Structure 1
């Protein structure tokens, strides 16, 4: 404002000195002077805006090349990470496939094992049934094969048997054991109920002066003899034999003629015993 006032004073002085100016000239000069003193605000604002924009761009993007380099490095690093992840995923897929294969194999093995267990259980049940049946048959068969007997001469008291002018079959009346009832205490005869190997024993007891002798006979034939003789004192003798018998074969003890034996019930000196060792099949007999 001070500049404007000074300008006006100068103009007045100039008019006074030069004889004055008209109004138009004065207005033009004032307008020109005002534009010189106060340039249009639009240019100023445009310049200020350009300056602000440059300052803003400078603040926002201080170094675009550095940012690009940093971004490139980040992208490269991300690519490396992606490659590693891709490799890891691929390896994991392979591991998963291997695990799936193992799982299928395990399932198949388990299924096969289940089938095997079921078959084994079935066979076990069949074997168990068969075994029980066989055991029952063997029990029944063995019950028929349980054959054994043992007996002494005197059922009670004591005394001699003999001597006789001919041989006689001795009857052992004091029966200790008679499993299978193959021995007859009335006749003194053992009858074989099945084919097999049998063991027999005989013992005789007497006193000197008379012979003590008896033999085991099979089907009327002498097999072994128990014999003792001396002028005085106690006489004792025994013998045994294993015989192969067919069903119906008979075994018994024969007292020799002119011989005698003694027995005393509580002590049971003179005895006859026999039992089945084991049964025999036809082919076993043929090999013998």
Structure 2
């Protein structure tokens, strides 16, 4: 069907949309894409679509929907197409300079939130550092939950910091951003932190075949991959920094490679951390570590 020069009602266009993407995605996922795009471009919720199937799309709406459909046919992530995604109850801008936040990372944030909420310092101006912040989703989510906290976020990428800065403004929180390379041994931080958290690159090159093509072809490899010869380089550098810059009762949190749980625990313990807990995610993969001084 040529949808470029004709006008269609929503019912007809939806049928064409589902047909065009059939075989590339599961049917329910295609329906979800259509609903997400309709909410953004047509201003219609899923319930409203059902009541507006006879409404004709305008030329501008057709162009927006067609462009998005073509991008989906090229396996571009829906989050990049829409330019935003939801994480831990908030909306974040995303683009190809930052990773798309994952549900597993929400679990990590929830672990930290529950620990801090139940801790003795809950009413104190604690300091939190997020290393490799990307979109800023971890730092910003914690800043929203703990408005009294002083939250800092570090990333090597200037473009990522620009995205995270915009997300902090969108979500009305104050974050101190630091552009730095955590692998640089000359890094010196001025503060002691009560909580340091990181979701660093951890996918080994040998695991590339496990990554879906829409991720592999679109998301920043700098934030995804590590060399097979030294897959824990970021964990070693961050743990070393944490051993110097955590308070006496400070806690270190990591999202980790599911295949390297024991190795990451052993690494953290070598730096003198105790009470190291390895936790599985909702998919029963080893995914998170908490370590105390």
Q: TM-score with structure 2 length normalisation?
A: 0.20
Greater relative contact order structure (CA < 8 Å, 6+ sep): 1
Q: TM-score with structure 1 length normalisation?
A: 0.20
**Bigger Cα Rg:** 1
Of Structure 1 and Structure 2, the greater strand share is in 1
